[in-house]
Structure 1
Amino acid sequence: MTYKAVILTAFGGPDVLQVESINELPEPEEGEVRIRVLACSASYTDTLIRRGIYPDVSEQPPFIPSYDMVGVVEKPGAGVTSVAVGDKVAALTITGAYAEYVVLPADQLVRVPQNVDDAEAVSLILTYVAAYQMLTRSAQVKEGDAVLIHGAGGAVGSALLQLGALLKLRMYGTASESHHEALRHLDCEPIDYRREDFVGTIRAAEPEGLDAVFDGIGGNNLKRSVKVLGKKGRLVAYGSYNATSSKDLVGDYLRVNLWNILPWRPSATFYSIGAWHRQHLDWFKQDLTALLDWLAEGTITPFISRKMALEEVSAAHELLDKGAAGGKIVLRVGE
């Protein structure tokens, strides 16, 4: 039986992603599960992998990318008892999910309630887990804390806003003017990054400094973010949107970790969901399960800007490269 998969043929632009037919279904070994993929996402992290500058991926082309997926268990391997045929499951794959079928270790799977939408469920795996962990585990925010969210109109920024509202934070967010109404709806004070100096705006509004800043921009923006923190504030860096090479990402990581050991600076940390997934799989499974429960209850509703077919993956990456995604892009698989 043949199935479709997206192959990263070389590092480069969106055109290096090619949809191909694979002749044989992958077979699960002991402790593994074959899954029929229902949905995966196109994320900014996927573009870094495509460009060959993402530090957590050492694979060389050709390979199948995609960081996350929701699917149905089709064939458990020997010794698997945690899931059964027909169970809906989610996983952080890091690579391998741009395909109609994927084989994964059973211990990495999280059960998905049958009544939740596949596209909404897959939106939680990377974006919302990252936001939830940065808020609760990295920054350890508490009710009433004042925080700044950079890129508040993007996928991770929107997740930080929605979860921050649930946690009753006082929020500021940098975003283009077109996103300001949505930010205000979530009780976030918008800052137009094109026209305003966020350092001056925050210092005027919060003279004692902020409790946390979430910076996915990187580079020189990190230095400016530190300036608006209070003495006990915390910078959480992630993503590095302005990165043009792996050296930029590594440089941001080293800079943040150096700041963290300097006693006269506020604390800083660099969050990477891939690293945390390897080191704290139990945290990932706990946090995703909690988010899926909120989704099933209607407590959270992920913002999905576009639903596209798997075959449109190159077009999805073009939108991400241009900064025109406007939120989460979900790829429908096998329809």
Structure 2
Amino acid sequence: MPIEENMYKRVELTALGGPEVLRIVTEASLPEPAPGQVRVRVLSAGTGFTDTIIRQGQYPGVKDKPPFTLGYDWFGVVDRLGEGVSSVELGQCVADMPVIGGYSQYLCVAADQLVAAPSGLDPAEAVCMILSYTTAYQMLTREVHLQRGQRCLVHAAGGAVGSALLELGALLGLEMIGTGSQAKKALIEGFGAQFIDYRNESVSERVAQLAPGGVDAVFDTLGGQSWSVSYHCLRKGGRLVAFGALQLTTGQETVPQLLLGFSKLLLLWRLLPDGKSSSFYNIQTRRKRYPNDFKEDLAALFQLLADGKLHPAIAECASLDDIVEIHRRLDSGDIAGKVVLDCTR
């Protein structure tokens, strides 16, 4: 909680770099909403790989220069209304995905950006719905068209988006296969998926055993080299959806290798008469193009959560004061599920 009345904490990115560039800032007074804005008391903020690449200066969608507040998504309660706002009410639960700004106890945001949520949701579970589950839901329902019983391969299945794909896929009646490390085997299998140990097994050989003839869809956040393997795991008529380049930031892939991957993904493979297809998904690009889809999909996920049909994998609930250590762990890739910031602490 704020140290004194009207004071609040936020996490500031002081420079581009490693976790050590993050610091806690205590503000002496609460922000005031401008006309058309509301002030929100943030209950929870998500953390994840995307925050780390923003911290490193490698996220193409962020042009802001430090210092600024990090934090891709948040869930909170409307605390104060700005002039002219009638679309939300005081005390209403709301959420947004601003890309930066979420690691804060209070913030001001345009009212028309907000997505309303049912009351009574657990804030830690609710914030998982915003970036992680909406990414998974849109890829499963808007990027591909799948029928019950079809098979999907999910890379990095023990992470926040990967585990969301597994749970939502099972809810849709799909057969899921997930790659991950041995440390994340129990989590992956806990969602009913078949596990592939990518460090000690050949992914393509194991997919051939588990899905003779190939899978119907692959969701791959790893990068260009992995996309080539994933494409060959598809059956005729299957679709590869790439949505990240994790191995570039970890040093396992170079920029030229990634660019070659993009040329295959978006051009060369589309020229092949093999019946397969490929695309790249980015949640922010899609939100800008189809803002109503984002609001509808997130609202649907909030309702599924309220109905008890979703149980996101939360590795830990930490405080804003723990942010440097949390980012060290995010960099190491050893987190199973999602670490959520409890912004009330």
**Map 1:137-176 → 2, pairs under 5 A:** 137-176=142-181
Equivalence map 1:188-267=2 (5 Å): 188-244=193-249, 247=255, 251=259, 252-259=261-268, 261-264=270-273, 266-267=276-277
Question: Which shows bigger deviation, 181-190 or 148-157?
Answer: 181-190
Offset from partner CA, 1:182-238 (integer Å, 9 cap, x none): 333333111111111111121233332211000011131111110011121110111
CA contact (8 A) 1:131 1:159 kept: yes
User: What is the rounded CA distance, in whole Å, between the counterparts of 1:29 and 1:185 in structure 2?
Assistant: 46
1:6 CA drift (Å): 0.8
Q: Which whole-Å deviations, capped at 9, do the CAs of 1:41-90 have from their partners, x for residues lacking one?
A: 11110001000000111111111110000111111222211101111111
Cα contact 1:2–1:24 (8 A) shared by 2 = yes
1:26 aligns with one of 31, 46, 64: 31
1:59 corresponds in structure 2 to 64
Q: Give 4+ residue runs of structure 1 displaced > 6 Å after superposition.
A: none
Return closer, same or farther for 1:129/1:260 CA change in 2, 3 Å cut-off: farther
Aligned positions of 1:177-192 closer than 5 A: 177-192=182-197
2:287 matched residue in structure 1:
277
Tell me the CA shift for residue 263 of structure 1. 3.6
| Residue 307 of structure 2 is aligned to residue 292 of structure 1 | no
Q: Structure 1 residues 213, 181: closer, same or farther in 2, change over 3 A? A: same
Query: Displacement, 1:255?
Result: 4.2
Maintained 8 Å contact 1:172/1:190: yes
- Between the aligned partners of 2:147 and 2:32, the Cα distance in structure 1 is 46
Q: Note the 1:101-140 alignment, pairs <5 A.
A: 101-140=106-145
Query: What letter is aligned with 2:184?
Result: H
Aligned partner of 2:330: which letter? L
User: Counterpart amino acid of 1:216?
Assistant: T
Instruction: Give the letter for the 2:86 counterpart.
Output: T
Deviation at residue 248 of structure 1 after TM alignment: 7.1
Alignment CA distance shift 1:256-1:88 (3 Å):
same
Deviates more, 1:196-205 or 1:286-295: 196-205
Distance 1:106 1:136, change over 3 A: same
CA distance in 2, matches of 1:247, 1:33: 41
| In structure 2, distance between residues paired with 1:165 and 1:322 | 28
SS of the equivalent of 1:321 reads helix
Q: Structure 2-normalised TM-score? A: 0.92
Summarize the Cα distance change of 1:248–1:330 in structure 2 as closer, same or farther, 3 Å threshold: farther
Within 2, Cα distance between the matches of 1:277 and 1:32?
20
TM-score, L = length of structure 1: 0.95
Structure 2: 5+ residue runs without aligned partners? 1-5
Task: Measure, in 2, the Cα distance between the counterparts of 1:183 and 1:322.
Answer: 19
Question: How many angstroms does 1:30 deviate by?
Answer: 2.2
Change (3 A) 1:78 1:254: farther
Tell me, which stretches of 5 or more residues in structure 1 are unaligned? Answer: none
Alignment-mate amino acid for residue 335 of structure 2: A
Q: Specify whether residues 248 and 24 from structure 1 end up closer, same or farther in structure 2 by C-alpha distance, changes over 3 A only.
A: farther
State how far apart, in whole Å, the 2-side matches of 1:327 and 1:62 are: 29
- Is the Cα contact below 8 Å between 1:100 and 1:333 reproduced in 2? yes
Letter in 2 for 1:333: C
Q: Deviations over 1:146-168 (max 9, x none)?
A: 11011111111111110011011
Distance 1:249 1:4, change over 3 A: farther
Question: Structure 1 residues 160, 16: closer, same or farther in 2, change over 3 A?
Answer: same
Kindly provide the amino acid, as one letter, of the partner of residue 199 in structure 1.
S
Query: CA separation of 1:196/1:14 partners in 2, compared to 1, >3 Å: closer, same or farther?
Result: same
Matching of residues 4-19 of structure 1 within 5 Å: 4-19=9-24
- Which one-letter code corresponds to 1:141 in the other structure? L
* Aligned residues of 1:260 and 1:268 also touching (Cα < 8 A): yes
Q: Which residue of 2 aligns with 1:324?
A: 334
Question: How many equivalent pairs are there?
Answer: 335
Contact (CA 8 Å) 2:241, 2:279: kept in 1 or not?
yes
C-alpha RMSD of matched pairs (Å): 1.8
Letter in 1 for 2:247: N
- Check whether the contact 1:259–1:268 (CA below 8 A) recurs between aligned residues: no
